[in-house]
């Protein structure tokens, strides 16, 4: 979508599968399997959605998917497909050097994996060599000293090279990244998790991060077992969805597969998603 000032395009790094039990937390499978089918390992297929925001000559990327570094073991566990992000950027006429900024909702490998790639010697280097990478300081601190429960979700090669190459910008709370493009801290999934809010004229587009990873998570008790503070996720999700419904925000889900973006509608007191195609 575009009104001539900010253009927002939905890209994808491909497909990943997560364990359905972990993805829906305390919700029993007898309920969630009415909306989505699990494979024989109980895994559910998810998208790895990213945004391309173009404003005033700046190309900003939100999220980077899993990227190309994952070893076979990780690819097998998560049934990870081929990384598509660079190909999709190219289809929009952009090379990695033309990305000016990368906004990361948090540093789990399925969001930050594509931040770096392996060079010819096998060393991880920033995929977008001219970009500044934006992440909340609290998210960085969790990722660089994770506890036993969080450790498996973080792959240091995804983000430590950003600091080594001086490409990292740590944020403290809500901040404007470019005219009309804001990040808002919504800790709960991780410490320092942030969402991205784009104000385009009178329209608002919100990239939800793992605050609401898929349209199924619009259902308030659907909260992933990964979340470090599910009660915080719940409170922030409840508040945000109320405002989104009232004010008509266009919501973008990082892990939506068939339905990746849409508007909330209230029919007879029940909230529904009216999906839209965002390219």
Among 85-93, 105-113, 119-127, 259-267, the segment contacting Zn ion (CB under 5 A): 105-113
Instruction: With CB under 5 A as the rule, give the number of residues binding Zn ion.
Output: 2
Tell me which of 110, 185, 227, 232 binds Zn ion, using CB under 5 A. Answer: 110
- Select from 13-21, 90-98, 209-217, 245-253 the region that touches Zn ion (CB under 5 A): 209-217
Q: Give the nearer residue to Zn ion in terms of CB position, either 110 or 142.
A: 110
CA gap 274, 223 in Å, rounded: 21
Task: Give whichever of 180 and 215 is closer to Zn ion, judged by the CB atom.
Answer: 215
Quick one: how many helices (H) and strands (E) in the chain?
8, 15
User: Binder to Zn ion among 70, 88, 142, 210 (CB under 5 A)?
Assistant: 210
N residues, the chain = 279
Residues in 243-272 that interact with Zn ion by CB under 5 A: none
The distance of closest approach from Cβ of residue 189 to Zn ion in the complex, given in angstroms and rounded to an integer, is 8
Q: For residue 69, which phi and psi values (nearest 5 degrees)?
A: -90, -15
Stretch that binds Zn ion, among 18-26, 74-82, 85-93, 205-213 (CB under 5 A): 205-213
Minimum distance from residue 16 beta carbon to Zn ion (Å): 8
Say how far apart CA 206 and CA 183 lie, in whole Å: 10
Q: For Zn ion, which stretch binds (CB under 5 A), given 25-33, 110-118, 140-148, 162-170? A: 110-118
For 42, the token pair is 């109980």
Tokens of 18: 């997560």
- C-alpha neighbours within 13 Å on the C-beta side of residue 102: 30
Give the strands of the sheet with 6-19, arranged side by side: 6-19, 43-55, 58-62, 101-103, 132-136, 168-171
What's the closest the beta carbon of residue 46 comes to Zn ion, in angstroms? 8
Q: How far is the CB of 58 from Zn ion (least distance, A)?
A: 25
* Cα angle value 163/166/167 (rounded, 5°): 85
Identify the three-state secondary structure at position 191: coil
| Closer residue to Zn ion (CB): 88 or 210 | 210
By CB under 5 A, residue 227 contacts Zn ion:
no
Residues that bind Zn ion (CB under 5 A): 110, 210
């Amino acid at each position: 979508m575009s009104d001539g000032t900010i253009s927002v395009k939905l890209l994808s790094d491909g497909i990943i599968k997560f364990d359905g039990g972990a993805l829906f937390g305390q919700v029993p499978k007898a309920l969630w399997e009415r909306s989505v089918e699990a494979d024989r390992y109980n895994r559910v297929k998810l998208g790895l959605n990213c945004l391309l925001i173009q404003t005033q000559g700046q190309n900003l990327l939100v999220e980077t998917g899993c990227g190309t570094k994952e070893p076979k073991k990780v690819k097998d566990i998560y049934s990870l497909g081929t990384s598509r992000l660079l190909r999709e950027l190219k289809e929009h006429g952009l090379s990695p050097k033309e990305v000016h900024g990368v906004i990361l909702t948090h540093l789990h490998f399925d969001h930050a994996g594509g931040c770096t790639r392996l060079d010819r010697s096998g060393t991880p280097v920033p995929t977008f060599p001219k970009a500044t990478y934006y992440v909340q300081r609290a998210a960085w601190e969790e990722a660089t000293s994770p506890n036993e429960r969080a450790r498996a979700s973080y792959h240091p090669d995804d983000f430590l090279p950003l600091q080594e190459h001086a490409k990292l910008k740590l944020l403290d709370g809500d901040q404007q990244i470019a005219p009309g493009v804001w990040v808002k801290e919504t800790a709960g999934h991780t410490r320092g998790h942030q969402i991205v809010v784009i104000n385009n004229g009178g329209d608002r587009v919100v990239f939800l991060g793992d605050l609401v990873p898929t349209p199924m998570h619009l259902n308030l008790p659907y909260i992933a077992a990964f979340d470090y503070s599910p009660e915080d996720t719940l409170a922030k999700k409840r508040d945000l969805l109320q405002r989104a419904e009232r004010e008509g925000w266009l919501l973008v889900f990082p892990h939506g597969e068939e339905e990746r973006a849409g508007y909330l509608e209230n029919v007879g007191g029940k909230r529904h998603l009216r999906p839209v195609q965002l390219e």
